[in-house]
Every structure is written in structure tokens, then in C-alpha cells.
Amino acid sequence: MLEESPQLARDASVELALAAADVRDINVVENCPDLRAWLDSEGIIHDDRSLEAITRLEDWPVAMISISLPALADNGATALLYSYEGYGPLAGGLSSMIYKRDAQGGWVLHRTDHLTIS
């Protein structure tokens, strides 16, 4: 894509999309013991086997949310992440979210785009 359209190499949204692609297969729960411990302490289902079993049911007893590892722009001031919310086999959606750092260094939601809805 960048070979055909080199001007896109300077586009911040393309940079973030490529960074997100680089981390898309990283399982945050598997790689973060603190997050895993918190999920366990709160009784939040997060293991693949249990989640797979729930998604095969006609009616889901719980809602599900999946959040990607955030991809950071080179300047460290912008992050892109994806979030999936599911409430049943045909009830859910995928969104992309852009966060930007504020003057105090905190993250503020800048933009949400709904990519799929069912």
C-alpha cells in the first residue's frame, strides 16, 4: 500500500493502523499478570475455553467486551485501540477509538468510530 501511495507514510492514521496491526495478536490478559489477577479477583470470565462455550449458546448469560492492546503513535501522544462489545450471537459491535494525551499527561477519548454493528 505504501509503495503505491508513498504520501500515506506521513499520515498519522496510517501509522497508527500499522502499529495496531503489529500488536493485534498479543493477548493482553496472558501477558499481564496484574490484569489477570484483577479479573480473577472480580470473578470476570476471561479464559478462552469459557468464552468459547458462552459464544456457542443461543442466549448469552453475560455481555462480553474485548479490548485490543493500544497502539501508540511514534510521538507517544496518540493511541488507537479496538473494542468489541457482544450481547449475543447477533448483538454486538466493533469500534475503533483514538485517545490523545492531555496537558497533564492523561489519556482523553478523542474519537470513536463504529466499524461493525449487528
Task: Read off the CATH number of the domain in which 101 is found.
Answer: 3.10.450
Alpha helices in 43-104 (DSSP H): 48-55
Question: What does the pLDDT look like over 49-70, one tens digit per residue?
Answer: 999 999 999 999 999 998 888 8
The whole-model pTM stands at 0.74
Q: Does residue 11 have a pLDDT over 80?
A: no
The count of structural domains within the chain is 1
Residues ≥6 apart with Cβ < 8 Å to 106? none
Q: In 79-99, which positions are buried (b, 16+ CB within 10 angstroms) versus exposed (e)?
A: bbbbeeebeeeeebebebbbb
Record the cell numbers describing residue 15, joined without a space: 501509522
In a domain? residue 80: yes
In a domain? residue 86: yes
Question: pLDDT at position 79, please?
Answer: 92
Task: Pick the more confident residue, 69 or 109.
Answer: 109
Question: pLDDT at position 64, please?
Answer: 92
Question: pLDDT at position 74, please?
Answer: 81
In a domain? residue 103: yes
C-alpha to C-alpha distance for 66 and 21, rounded to whole angstroms: 16
As a whole number, the mean pLDDT across the chain is 86
Question: What does the pLDDT look like over 79-106, one tens digit per residue?
Answer: 999 999 999 988 999 999 999 999 999 9
Backbone angles phi, psi at 12, to 5 degrees: -60, -35
C-alpha to C-alpha distance for 70 and 55, rounded to whole angstroms: 25
Domain range enclosing 83? 6-117
In a domain? residue 1: no
